[in-house]
Amino acid sequence: MKKILLSVEGQTEEEFVLGVLRPHFEPECYLQPVVLKTSRSPHGQAHKGGVSTYSRIREDVRRLCHDTSAVVVSTMYDFYGLPKDFPGLQRIQPQWSSLQKVEFLESEFKQDIGDARFIPYLSLHEFEALLFSDREQLVSFLKQQGVRKGEVDTLKAVASPPEDIDSERPPSKRIQSVFAGYQKVLHGILIAQRIGIETMLQQCPHFRQWVDSLQRRCLD
């Protein structure tokens, strides 16, 4: 079984890879998520989760690239909230679409890491966009948590495709606006499991392109 290493932003992405994404790749490939190390204590203990600076990202990704047994090294970070020193971020043009911006940043990221096995992925605009792949399932889950129908119906009314829900009011903020108790790791993963990977692949082209590219490497 071939191994793919994924540097992920936090525990939510880690659980998503383990519970939703990894089964989609089995038995040909084994996906191993590694939570980003954001800092170290004076005693050398690593603190995990969240994107702090690009230097931390680069350090983690290059460390994973040292594992020559991995056929691919990839990432799962949110486009929303990238550190200001991320390669190419200051050269983004305002007239570009969100997809154009992300593809440009992924290209700059890949060039900076400089490893042929590296396939970067930035979520448009964040993990929660995937939860809008099936708004009926999203709304049904929130109703079960006690959210009133009139409030959750505002989520169904969002006209944009999941990956086009922009950073001015990102998907997580929309969910939190109707469900103040939303916990990304707990509720986000439960909703994702209800929706399933196939629906996400159908509704999120950039996500699908990434998954397809990983699968092609598995089959090489």
Report the range out of 35-39, 97-101, 146-150 with the highest average pLDDT. 97-101
Query: Could you tell me the pLDDT band of residue 92, with boundaries at 50, 70 and 90?
Result: very high
Query: Could you tell me the pLDDT band of residue 45, with boundaries at 50, 70 and 90?
Result: very low
Share the mean pLDDT of the chain. 91
Reading the block at residue 145, the tokens are 């948590």
- Mean pLDDT over 40-54 rounds to 56
Reading the block at residue 9, the tokens are 């932003």
Q: Which CATH number fits domain 2-124+204-219: 3.40.50.720, 3.40.50.2300, 3.40.718.10, 2.40.50.140?
A: 3.40.50.2300
Domain edges within the chain:
2-124+204-219, 128-195
Axis crossing angle, helix 98-113 with helix 54-65, rounded to the nearest 10: 60
Residue 20: Cβ within 10 Å count: 17
What does the pLDDT read at residue 47? 45
What b-and-e string marks burial along 93-112, b requiring 16 or more CB atoms within 10 Å of the CB?
eeeeebeebbbbbbebbeeb
Q: Which tens digits make up the pLDDT trace of 113-161?
A: 999 999 999 999 899 999 999 999 999 999 999 998 888 888 887 778 9
Q: Which tens digits make up the pLDDT trace of 169-189?
A: 889 999 999 999 999 999 999
- Mean pLDDT over 27-46 rounds to 71
- Mean pLDDT over 86-100 rounds to 96
What does the pLDDT read at residue 38? 67
> How far, in Å, CA of 22 to CA of 115, rounded?
23
pTM for this model (two decimals): 0.91
pLDDT at 49 over 60: no
Q: Which tens digits make up the pLDDT trace of 15-32?
A: 999 999 999 999 999 999
